[in-house]
Structure 1
Amino acid sequence: MDSLAFLVTDCARLMRAAFERRILTAGLELTAGEARTLIQVAAMNGSRQLDIASRMGLEPMTVSAFLDKLQARGLIERQPDPCDRRAKRIMLSDAAEDMIKAISIEIGAVQREATQGLDHGAQDNVRHALKCFRQNLQKCDTVAVEPEIGTVAERKECGAE
């Protein structure tokens, strides 16, 4: 089946599987879930666990288990949230830098595999289309609000502003 929705979903599934294989064979001693979580922490450094879980589309308890393992390895720190004493802010530790670089290498390899045969212009077109997809779907998403996604530049790219 070649509907747009099917293709996007299938490509996401295949990229996730490729990423999981690469993380498994890279010798980083992280699971793919832990690696994805660490990358999200890097993207949202200082965010609350609940916000990270929301952005990842996972249950907070699942993310909590990943964060526990990352903290045990010294890659993240949980710090009190000054605005909510029940919440913790998730911060990268100094030790996370090398691991993030290693994970980024694996992400780059998956991306190169996925984009073979696409010139830079075609890659830019796919990136633009997916940003628009994301923005449009976020408008429809009433369950979770993800604050740092859909930048002004992306909205302008899609003609929303």
Structure 2
Amino acid sequence: MSTRPDPDALGFVLIDVARMLRSAFERRIATAGLGLTPGEARTLVRIATLEGSRQLEIAQQMGIEPMTLSTYLDRLQSLGFIERRADPADRRAKLIHTTPAAAEVIARIRVEQIELMRLVTDGIGEEDLSLMRARMKHLRANLSALEEGGGAPSLASQAIR
């Protein structure tokens, strides 16, 4: 067995693909004329999927620092795309909601995402894409279990079956 790392090992390939996909998404958003930075676009889409979540939860889901998220939220709020509401369970916390004004820009971001994924997955059949999606969700669940300190990927595996 060689001691040299294999650049085509699954971990390296996943990291490369994730980095390249993010870079391609950022280029598309930067040139789409949305008036948002790629970070703001990612944040707006994530807020739409986590509607009514706390700022800290959104930052954790995005893998960014709360202060970075706060900067994005300030800008999105100034554009009228989101609003911060007091959390009835904790007056110190804010729940983040999209506004009706965000719907059109979210739809335009989605168009960019869909087109990018169409290009990226060109030549891969629907059955293979479905299997790939399931396997990626499995990896994500295992990683979430590890991050939560449970160290029990088998529990995560059972949860997604």
TM over 0.5: yes
Q: Structure 1 residue runs of 4+, over 2 Å off?
A: 154-157
CA contact (8 A) 2:82 2:99 kept: yes
Choose the corresponding residue for 2:8, options 2, 27, 37.
Answer: 2
Question: In structure 1, how many angstroms separate the alpha carbons of the residues matched to 2:118 and 2:18?
Answer: 15
Larger radius of gyration: 2
Cα distance between partner residues in 2 of 1:13 and 1:44 = 23
Which one-letter code corresponds to 1:33 in the other structure?
Answer: G
Alignment counterpart, residue 22 of structure 2, candidates 16, 19, 25: 16
The code of the aligned residue for 2:145 comes to K
1: CA distance, partners of 2:160 / 2:65: 32
Residue 25 (1) aligns with residue 44 (2): no
Q: Which residue of 2 aligns with 1:55?
A: 61
CA distance in 2, matches of 1:78, 1:156: 33
Q: AA paired with 2:125?
A: D
Query: What's the secondary structure of 2:80's corresponding residue?
Result: coil
- Equivalent pair of 2:138/2:160 in contact (CA under 8 Å): no
Distance in 2 (alpha carbons) for counterparts of 1:61 and 1:86: 16
Q: Which amino acid is 1:18 matched to?
A: A
What's the TM-score, normalizing by structure 1? 0.89
Paired residue for 1:105?
Answer: 111
Determine whether 1:69 maps to 2:75.
Answer: yes
**Count, aligned residues:** 148
What are structure 1's unaligned runs of at least 5 residues? 144-151
Cα contact 2:59–2:65 (8 A) shared by 1? yes
- Partner AA of 2:63 in structure 1: G
Q: Flag structure 2 segments of 5+ consecutive residues without an equivalent.
A: 1-6, 150-155
1:116 paired with 2:161, answer no
Distance 1:117 1:155 in 2: 31
1:49, distance to aligned residue in structure 2 (A): 0.4
CA distance in 2, matches of 1:8, 1:109: 21
Q: Identity percentage over the alignment?
A: 47
What SS class does the counterpart of residue 135 from structure 2 fall into? Answer: helix
Q: Which residue of 1 aligns with 2:135?
A: 129
TM-score between the two structures when normalised by the length of structure 2: 0.89
* Paired amino acid for 2:19: R
| Amino acid paired to 1:10 | D
